[in-house]
């Protein structure tokens, strides 16, 4: 027996789950959004997120952008290949846009989406852990534990999994394909001798890519290293850490003079064999978890959420039922190219550029030179990064 019935229940109130609820705020459907964490104080994750210009446009439309306390515009992306020839520079004019992207951090984005979601009619419950769910042809059912320990059961016409990929294994006809990179990403706020803003650096090294993203006139670091090396780097005293970073990145920004708190994230490619099942849709990291190279994961997840919301709205405006096999198939087809493209793009970048084979690294360097000299390819790559498959 269900305590309550909804049109839509979203499992996971992370950035993608909240964005989806916001995209549906004017649709008239009843929405339950369940988030395991007690918010927003419990979210202390300051990983940097490079948001594409396309994501900026969506977040602006959702009303969340104006709530962001900090963001830094990217007008140039400098891509290089450590130890080999070849580099390319992408500028706003290459893609005919005013900005290539914006750098924010996870906590600020979470907070902005949280504040905006509270202004809507969404039934947003925090400290609510979904334990299990099931479906039949008509409805989805789930049970969750509230922060006071009581258990609730609800039903909905559509269950949306936005939980980062934790509960997907409960769905019988979906499994996850997983490839471990044996790499971690180390993140920290870094101050360099050279103060500048607007330029993002992505440098490929045989140990993995390293990115320094503009954050005001400082930088947000995403340094990929083997699991073993990352654990050691995370333990270094600040001064030795900054020296090691300088040795690894090079002297383009002079010495690194200050570091904030460091965090480490194990990296994996994990994706669901399908993003739909009976009365269920998967969005964001629940559908695909990517390597952070080229900053694609959240941007892709946000497009999942936005396009699902559009399909739901179209379905409603045609006076049809939501969550039917026909509606879900439409969602699967619409996301196929963008999702598989994002996956292949990041995975190929990691595998091609993170290796010690000189011939391959020379070819990668040559491809950066070609990219730098052929404006139409540059435009294609820049727009693909900004707008996904539609670019």
Contact positions vs ligand FAD (CB under 6 A): 11-17, 34-37, 47, 49-50, 129-130, 162-164, 166-167, 185, 187, 222, 265, 284-285, 292, 295-299, 301
Q: Tell me how far apart the alpha carbons of residues 34 and 168 are, in angstroms, rounded to a whole number.
A: 16
Q: Tell me how far apart the alpha carbons of residues 243 and 258 are, in angstroms, rounded to a whole number.
A: 11
Q: How far is the CB of 7 from ligand FAD (least distance, A)?
A: 19
Q: How far is the CB of 106 from ligand FAD (least distance, A)?
A: 6
Nearer to ligand FAD, 107 or 265 (CB): 265
Q: How far is the CB of 96 from ligand FAD (least distance, A)?
A: 21
Q: How far is the CB of 206 from ligand FAD (least distance, A)?
A: 20
Q: How far is the CB of 154 from ligand FAD (least distance, A)?
A: 13
Using Cβ positions, the residue closest to ligand FAD within the complex turns out to be 14
Nearer to ligand FAD, 129 or 369 (CB): 129
Q: Tell me how far apart the alpha carbons of residues 153 and 142 are, in angstroms, rounded to a whole number.
A: 6
Find, among 109, 102, 93, the residue nearest to 214 by Cα: 102
Confirm if 159 and 135 have CB atoms less than 8 A apart.
yes
Q: Which residues of 299-335 are buried (b: 16+ CB within 10 A; e: fewer)?
A: bbbbbbbbbbbebbbebbeeeeebbbeebbebbeebb
Nearer to ligand FAD, 45 or 321 (CB): 45
Nearer to ligand FAD, 51 or 368 (CB): 51
Nearer to ligand FAD, 202 or 361 (CB): 202
Q: How far is the CB of 290 from ligand FAD (least distance, A)?
A: 7
Nearer to ligand FAD, 47 or 152 (CB): 47
Strand ranges (E), the chain? 4-11, 31-35, 48-52, 72-74, 76-81, 87-91, 101-105, 123-126, 129-135, 140-145, 151-161, 176-192, 199-205, 208-215, 218-226, 256-259, 263-272, 276-277, 280-282, 288-289
């Amino acid at each position: 027996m269900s305590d309550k019935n909804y049109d839509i229940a979203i499992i996971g109130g992370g950035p993608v789950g909240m964005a989806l609820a916001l995209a549906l705020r004017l649709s008239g459907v009843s929405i339950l959004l369940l988030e395991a964490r007690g918010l927003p104080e419990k979210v202390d994750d300051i990983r940097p997120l490079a948001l594409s210009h396309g994501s900026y446009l969506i977040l602006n439309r959702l009303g969340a952008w104006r709530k962001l306390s900090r963001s830094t515009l990217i007008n140039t992306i400098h891509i290089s290949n450590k130890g080999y020839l070849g580099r390319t520079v992408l500028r706003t004019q290459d893609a005919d846009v005013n900005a290539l992207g914006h750098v924010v951090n996870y906590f600020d984005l979470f907070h902005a989406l949280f504040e905006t979601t509270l202004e809507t009619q969404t039934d947003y419950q925090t400290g609510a852990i979904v334990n299990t769910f099931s479906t039949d042809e008509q409805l989805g059912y789930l049970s969750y534990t509230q922060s006071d320990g009581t258990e609730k059961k609800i039903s909905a016409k559509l269950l949306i999994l936005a939980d980062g990929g934790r509960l997907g294994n409960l769905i019988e006809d979906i499994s996850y394909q997983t490839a471990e990179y044996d790499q971690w990403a180390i993140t920290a706020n870094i101050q360099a001798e050279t103060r500048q803003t607007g330029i993002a650096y992505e440098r490929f090294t045989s140990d993995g890519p390293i990115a320094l993203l503009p954050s005001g006139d400082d930088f947000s670091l995403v340094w990929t290293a083997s699991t073993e090396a990352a654990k050691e780097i995370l333990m270094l005293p600040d001064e030795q850490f900054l020296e090691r970073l300088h040795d690894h990145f090079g002297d383009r920004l002079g010495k690194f003079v200050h570091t904030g708190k460091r965090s480490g994230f194990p990296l994996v490619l994990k994706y669901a064999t399908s993003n739909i099942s009976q009365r269920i849709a998967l969005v964001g990291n629940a559908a695909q978890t990517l390597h952070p190279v080229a900053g694609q994961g959240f941007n892709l997840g946000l497009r999942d959420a936005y396009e699902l919301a559009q399909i739901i709205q179209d379905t409603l405006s045609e006076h049809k039922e939501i969550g039917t096999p026909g509606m879900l198939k439409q969602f699967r087809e619409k996301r196929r190219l963008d999702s598989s493209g994002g996956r292949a793009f990041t995975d190929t970048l990691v595998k091609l550029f993170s290796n010690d084979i000189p011939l391959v690294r020379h070819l990668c360097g040559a491809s950066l030179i070609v990219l730098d000299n052929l404006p139409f390819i540059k435009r294609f790559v820049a727009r693909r990064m900004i707008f996904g498959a539609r670019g």
